[in-house]
Structures are given as C-alpha cells and as structure tokens.
Amino acid sequence: MIRWRDPRVPPAAAAAAGAAAFAAALLTESPALVTGAVAGGIAALVAAASLLIASVKQAATHRPTAMGARWMGGGAIIWTAGVALRPFTESFVDSFADMFMLLGTVITASGALVAADRRFPARAALRQLTDAYLCTASLFLIGWMVALRHVYAETADAAVFTLVMLPPLVGLLVTFAVIPSVLTSRSSSWLLSLAGVGVLATMTVAGMSAAVARLMDAEPQLWGVMLAPVAFLLLAAVPWGPRVKQASRPAVGHAVAIVPLALVAVAAGTLLVHQAGGRTGAPVTGVVVVGVSVVLLLLVRLFVVSAANVRLRSLVKLSERQLKELAESTGDVVFTCDYEGVVREIGAGVEVTYGYGPQELVGGSIFDYIHPEDVPGIQVAMRAMNLAEDNAAPGACLIACRVRAADGTWRPTESVATRHAGGEDLMLVTTRDVSDEEALRNQVAHLTFHDGVTGLPNRAYFEERTREVLSGRTASPGTANVAVIFLDLDGFTSVNDSVGHASGDYLLGQAARRLRGAVRADDTLARWGGDEFAVLVETGGDAQIAVDLAERLVRAVSQEPFRVADRDVALTASVGVAFTEDDVSAGDLMRNADVAMARSKELGGRRVEVFAAQMHADVIRRLELAADLQRALIEQQFAIEYQPVVDLATSRVTAVEALVRWWRGSVFVPPEQFLGAAEDTGLIVPLSEWILREACREVAAWRASSWDIGLSLNLSARQIMAPRFVETVEEALTESGLPASVLTLEVIEEMLVEDAEETIKRLSELRALGVRLAIDDFGTGYASLAFLRQLPVDMIKIDPSFVSGLGKDDTLTLLTRTIVRLGHDLGLIVVAEGIERPEQLELLKQMGCTRGQGFLVARPMAARGVDSLMRTSLTV
C-alpha cells in the first residue's frame, strides 16, 4: 500500500516514524517482496563482484571490456542499495529507493555502451535519443490503451501515477537508447554489452510490474520479482564465458533503426482503433502531451529522412556521372549487356576508341564485333557467370579478345565483366584497347631474344633453340644429327681500336648479312656475343653438311674486305664444329663448339676445326695448370736460375739472364708448359714482379762483392701493360740498390708490333730511368728497322734459329752476318743466343759478334753456381 507523508506531520516526527518502521519492515512486508529483495540483492552483489574481478583481469588485454564491466558492476551495487531500501514504506525512503534504482539503471546502461566500444558524433547521439523517446512513448501509449488507463482510473491522482511510473519509463527510455549501439557493435565484448541490455530490460519490466502493483495496492507477482535476480546471475556468468569474435556473430546492421518507426506505427494504430471505438471520456493531459509529442517527432524524423533521401539521391546521381566521366576520360569503353550478348547501353567513348556511334551498337550483339576464334571462350565465361549458385556475389570475369574496329582492323582488348548492381539480369563490362601494350610486349619479346646490332637471334634464343632441338631428338633418337658451329672474327678487336665501336657495330652488321646468306633456310644463325656467331645445323645424319657449311662461312667472311669508315678492312674467321652424341647435353655441345673454335684461333685462324675429346682435355689441363700456378705463387714454389752472358773474345762473364723455374713438388715443369698459361691468366704479372725483385737483390749482392756483372730480364706483354709497371721497376731498383744502368730489359719483336704506340711509350719511360733495353729474338721478321729509330735500344739478341744454321745454311749465315754488321753500324751490342757447337762460336767471333750465350758457353745455374763461379774465376 502506498503511504505518503501527511503535510501536517512535522519532518522530525516523520523521521522518527521512519526509524521506528525500519525495525518492523521485514515483518510487515509481503513474502514475495522480501524474497525478491533478498534474491535481487544477492544476485546483484554476485554480478557486481564477478564484473569487478573480470575488469581487473581484462584491464591489460581489452580496455573496453574492463571499463564496461566496471561500470556495470557499479550499477549493480547501486541498484542493490535501492532494492534494499524498497521494503520500507515511508515516503522519503521510497523516494530514495527509486532514485538509487534509477541511478543504478543509468550506470548499467553506460557500462553496456562502454563495453560495446561505440563512439558517435553529436548528430547520431541525438537521433538515437529521439528514436528511444519514440519507442518509449509508443509503448506507453500501447500500455495506456491496454491497462494503464484502468490503473490511472483507480489511482485518481495524476501526481502519484506520474511519480510511480516515471522510474520504469526512464529505464525503458535508457534501454531503447542503448539497444541500437549494442546490436550494431563490432567489439569482442559484444556478449557482455548484450547481457547488460538484457539486465536493463528485465530491470525495466520488473520495475513496471512493481509500479503497477504499488498503484493497484496489490501484492507484486513472483515472476516479476524474480526477473532481476535471474538476469543478474546471467550477467555474472558472461565475463567468464568465451569471447565472441567479430566474424562469428550475426551482423545486425542498421536494420535496428526500423524498430522505432514500427513501434510508433503500432502506437498510432492502437490510438486510431481506440478512437474508432467511440469511447468517450475526459482526456488525460499527460497522455495527450505524449501522443502529440510522438506525432510531432515522427513528422520531424520523416522530414529529416526525406531530406537525407534527397541528398543521397543527388549524391548517387553525382557519383554515376563522375564514374561515367572517369571511365570515358581513361579511354575505357563501358557498356551493359545481357547474358546473351545483347548491348543495352554503351558509353560515348566507343566512338573515340573504335569508331562506332553508340546508337549503332545498342540492341546489337557483341559477338558481331569479336573475332570468331575468341567467341566460344567468351560464351563459356558468360554462361558460367549466369549459372553461378550465389547470384548475390559480385563475381567478376577477365576477358581478353580481339575486337573489330570501324576501319576493319582487329584490336586486342582486355575486359572486366561483373554482375550489374542494379538488380537486373545484366553484366557491366569495362573494355580497354591494349594495342599499344601488345605492341610494346612484342617489341620487348623481340629485344629479349634478338640482338640489337645485327638483328639476329641472340645467345638466349640460341641456347633455348638448341635445347628444344636436342629434346626432340631425345624423344625420337636417331631421327636427325645435330651440329653446332661457332665462328669468331679474327682481328676484330683492332677494328674497334682503330675506327671506333660504332664502325665496329656496322662491320658486325655486314658480317651478319654475309653469314645469313651462307646458311640454309632451316639453320639457326645467332650472334653469340662480341664478334662471335653460332649456327645450329640439323645434318640429317650427314656430318659433311656441317663441315661444308663451316667452310662456306669462312669463305663468306674472308672472300672480300669489309668497307668501314671509308676504308677496306680484311678479316678472317676461326670456326669450330661440334657434333652431338647420345650423352651430350645442349650446354656441352655448345661448349665443345667453343673449344674447337678456340683451337682454330690458336692455330692461326682462317680454318675449320672439328671438336675432339682431346681438345676438351687440353682445356681442362690448362685450367688445372692455371690453378696450380696460382697456388705455386702463393706457396713460393718458383726458383730463379741464371744463364751467363760472356764476352766471346775473352770468355769473361759480363752479365746473367734470369730464368724462372718451377718445381711442382719433386716434378720439374718446363717453362714452355706454364709461361703461356701464366700469360693468358695474368699471373705472369705478379710472377715477373717477384722475379725482378729477387734477381735485382741477388745481383746487387754480387756487385757488392766487387764483381762487375749485369742483369738481363725478359718482359711479357701483360707485364709492360700493367698499370704500375714503370713504378714497379723503379721500386725494385731502389729496394735492392742496383744501379739502373746494370739492368737490361728484353722485349721480343712481336710486342713492338701489337699496340706499338703504348709499348714504345712505356719502354721510353724505362729508358728515362737509365735502364737499358734489348730486342730479343731479333731477325724473326716482326719488327721493321724503323723501330730501332723510334726506340733507343742498347742491345739486339740474335734469334737461336739463325745461330743454329751457322756453317750449315748459307742463307742463315748471311743473315746472321748482316745482323751483326747492322748492330755494329748502329752502335749496338750484339748478343748471339743458342750457341751449342764450337763451329758456331768460331764463326760468330769471325763475324765480330762480341757476346753470346748458350749451352756451349754456360748452362743456366742456380745462384749457388754463380757464387762458385765468382769465387773461382770470372771466365767460362
């Protein structure tokens, strides 16, 4: 029963009465109310404890969950306080109990929002509050029509009715304000916020039930009293259950916004039905105000929605126009067609790209303009899109085909077809003309497999073609024999050096045309690289076909000079041929042809060499020798022997020539077997530098013992062209203390011919240091006498081939005599090499040759032998 304080009773008396009633309250209230209060308080405290513990554990992992649980736990505690105060019937206590319960409801709702992790702009928050009010007012009007008007009639006091019904209605308003945010939440704590909404709903229903019971002065229903405890217990269990991932829950979306309008419609319908029933009576002012506010807010919401709809329509039209302008500006053709290929609509860009007017194509079939070979594939793709099980999916299809333009040409195109979003059974197709890209791809492919200078296939193409032919031969053994021919232009390097690389490229183009004219139509001719060409020949079992072709290639190159830079350039070719065998791969076959070509070049060029297994073995030996040379240089396996140079008249030793020796373990390696490899690999440079430093140090030590003796050293071409050659000689002389005039450096005539200008420049720098120069193997015919004028030479050494013929060959004897006289006339020292017989020595003395060396005079000896010779005698 509702008890209100009598205004005639003083406040102190009322407080005393309330205190007196505090002790007897539990005895006077109904069992249902007491049971509900106790159960609700215990359940709320359990929920509060569970939520607060969960908030502590979740603080580090998920902040929204922790904060939401903390707020909802606080709301449960405050609501429990209100439930504890509810059994007391004094009016001021009733007011405090309702305030506590209402505050607990608001805080619980705030916790549900925090757990949902939703943030809104002010406009969205205002819209949700408006919708919540519409929902609350609509349910109130429905409840008024069904039952509340009878309750109001029995109460007959508007203030009492309003005061009692206000807390549950505020709770209902708060619940409706929270529901949209929770249902559209994407947070992992969605279940916790949803449980909070459930608690709000049950608290509201329980509050409404209790309010009606209080107004009707009746016992509260047990089901209404027990709703809140059950909801709080469920809320206590939620934090300890599994966390729901975003993708595992249904997406409610914005469909929740329909709920307020539906409720308003129900409320309005109920009012209309009531009015149509013809019932009369004095209208209740509060109810009229609520009804009018619902209608006005509904009109405002409809106006806002209509304005937003107009704005959205304008934005859609603007987007469509911008999309069409964008598509046309990119050069793409955009059109729609059905799954039979009939064009429904097409953009104006088709006239610019393909020359057709849009009206010509609308209503026609796209297959009339697609290349017949491409039509079946496109039809299959379109049927697959049309028969897809999930027609709501935005399936897309990529199509590449050729389209006929208005001028009759076929244009390569790339298209993207998607289902039309308008709901019709149509496809939206975007087509791009890729003619320029296709031409660029073809150009790139051509450049990838062709040489830019000669226009021939390049090395990559030749290797791929060779593998292809050999794989076909492996699949059908015995069907055809295959040969590979390698060709190198002899002397091409001098062309680049003399007339420049541009003219060299022009010469390569001429050579390519000659070679193309010499090969058969089904042979593969390619530029291998540099001045090398390769030919793949299918001989059909006749090996002579490949040999004859190789000889034709040699004649094609050398039959007449090439015209380059207004001058004639005569070139020859070195050619190697290799035939396939059953166990030879494509890589080995090309390697064998390259080895045979290198062998042809070693033998002087302008010839054809057929690969033999021995050639490859020689290459392997040279590689192994080069590796052993490098190891020997590191491990100091080399030694120096000195061959005396004597005065032929007195037999007195005037100098020694330093000669390198290599002992590979206990095996002696002759110089002619490793000096060539050292020259080819460049190891001759560090080796010669070591010889120079050691020999200078040794001879300087002998000269310190009062022995007037000179030193001769042979120079290699690589050594002379080394970047710091002159500085190296100067450093060796400085370190050893050997006078520069004592050192004689020998060069062969061939070195004066190759790169003569640079060689003479380097030798002149040596001559400026005071070092003496000698021409070794003089008379072999490489150098002209003009070099003796350009280069200040001190000595010439007669080649052993002339000395060996003395007394046997009159021509060689005459040539030797001429060289000796020439040297005397030029004021040069003449040294004869290779003296092995006494008659040779006597003839040289008669000719006036002053110095000589050879096995008859003195054999090469180690430094110990030279020391012994110095201690015993200075003559041999």
pLDDT tier at 524, thresholds 50, 70, 90:
very high
Q: What is the mean pLDDT of residues 643-653?
A: 89
The pLDDT of 780-808, averaged and rounded, is: 76
Cα 792–Cα 796–Cα 801 angle in degrees, nearest 5 = 150
More confident residue, 207 or 528: 528
Instruction: Please tell me the chain's helix, strand, coil percentages from 3-state DSSP, rounded to the nearest 5.
Output: 60, 15, 25
Q: Using 50, 70 and 90 to split pLDDT, how confident is the model at 158? A: confident
* C-alpha angle 742-748-752 in degrees, rounded to nearest 5: 105
Mean pLDDT of 190-209: 77
The pLDDT tens digits for 822-856 are 888 888 899 999 999 999 899 999 999 999 999 88
Structure tokens at 362: 């609308």
> Would you give the distance in Å from CA 269 to the centre of its chain?
67
Question: Cβ contacts of residue 752 below 8 Å, gap of 6+?
Answer: 759, 760, 775, 782, 783, 787, 791
The whole-angstrom separation of Cα 446 and Cα 439 is 10
Task: Report the pLDDT averaged over residues 215-239.
Answer: 70
Euclidean distance between the first and final Cα of the chain, in Å?
Answer: 152
DSSP 590-609: HHHHHHHHHHHHHTTSSEEE
Rounded mean pLDDT of 792-808?
87
What pLDDT is attached to residue 371? 92
For every residue of 484-508, which 3-state class applies, written as one string? EEEEEEECHHHHHHHHCHHHHHHHH
Q: What average pLDDT is seen over the chain?
A: 78
Residue 791: is its pLDDT beyond 80?
Answer: no
pLDDT surpassing 50 at residue 795: yes
List, for residues 278-307, the tens digit of each pLDDT value: 444 555 666 666 666 666 666 566 656 656
| Phi, psi (degrees; rounded to nearest 5) at 752 | -75, -15
pLDDT at 307: 65
Shortest CA distance to 249 belongs to which of 202, 178, 192? 192
Give the pLDDT band of residue 401 (cuts 50, 70, 90). very high
| Per-residue model confidence (pLDDT) at position 575 | 94
What pLDDT does 602 receive? Answer: 84
Please give the Cα distance from 126 to 110 (Å, whole number).
Answer: 16
Average pLDDT over residues 214-239: 70
C-alpha to C-alpha distance for 288 and 734, rounded to whole angstroms: 122
- Sorted by sequence, the CB contacts under 8 Å of residue 519 that are 6+ apart come out as 525, 535, 549, 553
Query: 536 forms bridges with which residues in the sheet?
Result: 484, 524
- Tally of CB atoms within 10 A around 719: 25
The SS3 assignment for 575 reads strand
Q: Are 717 and 661 in contact (CB under 8 A)?
A: no
Other C-beta atoms lying within 10 Å of the C-beta of residue 460? 12
Separation CA 383–CA 388 (nearest Å):
9
Question: Exposed, middle or buried, 413 (CB in 10 Å: 0-12/13-18/19+)?
Answer: buried
Q: Report, as an integer, the average pLDDT of 565-594.
A: 88
Strand 829-833 relative to strand 851-853: parallel, antiparallel, unpaired? parallel
Of the candidates 579, 571, 537, the one whose C-alpha atom is nearest the C-alpha of residue 554 is 571
Quote the pLDDT of residue 291. Answer: 64
What is the percent of the chain where pLDDT is above 70? 77
Residue 363 has pLDDT above 60, yes or no: yes
Look at residue 42 in the predicted model and tell me its pLDDT: 79
**pLDDT beyond 60 at 309:** yes
Given a contact cutoff of 8 angstroms between Cβ atoms, the answer to whether 647 and 654 are in contact is: yes
Q: Any residues with CB less than 8 A from the CB of 399 and at least 6 apart, and which?
A: 378, 381, 414, 415, 416, 417
By the 10 Å C-beta count (0-12 exposed, 13-18 middle, 19+ buried), 127 is classed as: middle
What is the pLDDT confidence band of residue 137, given thresholds at 50, 70 and 90?
confident
In 685-770, beta strands by DSSP E: 710-714, 743-748
pLDDT grade for 256, boundaries at 50, 70 and 90 = very low
pLDDT for residue 7: 42
Question: Can you tell me the mean pLDDT for 390-410?
Answer: 79
Q: Average of pLDDT values for 717-724? A: 85
Q: Which amino acid is at 379?
A: Q
Q: What is the pLDDT of residue 722?
A: 86
Query: pLDDT over 90 for what percent of the chain?
Result: 20
Tokens standing for residue 235: 């809320």
Output the six-digit token pair for 461.
């193409």
Task: State the average pLDDT over residues 377-406.
Answer: 78
Q: What is the rounded average pLDDT of the residues 245-273? A: 47
Query: 608: which strand partners?
Result: 575
Query: According to the model, what pLDDT value does residue 781 have?
Result: 57
Grade residue 15 by pLDDT with cuts at 50, 70 and 90.
very low
Alpha-carbon distance 348 to 333, whole Å?
A: 8
Using CA atoms, how far apart are residues 775 and 396, in angstroms rounded to an integer? Answer: 83
Weakest-pLDDT range from 80-84, 401-405, 537-541, 767-771: 80-84
Strongest mean pLDDT among 169-173, 248-252, 645-649:
645-649
pLDDT of residue 285: 64
pLDDT at 2 over 60: no
3 state SS of 416: strand
Mean per-residue pLDDT, 140-146: 73
**Residue 516: its pLDDT value, please?**
93
Greater model confidence, 486 or 115: 486
Question: Would you state the pLDDT for residue 422?
Answer: 61
Mean pLDDT along residues 268-283? 47
How far out from the chain centre does Cα 441 lie? 21
Q: Which CA distances in Å does 721 have to 131, 286, 694, 740, 756? A: 95, 114, 21, 20, 11
Burial of 798 (0-12, 13-18, 19+ CB in 10 A): buried
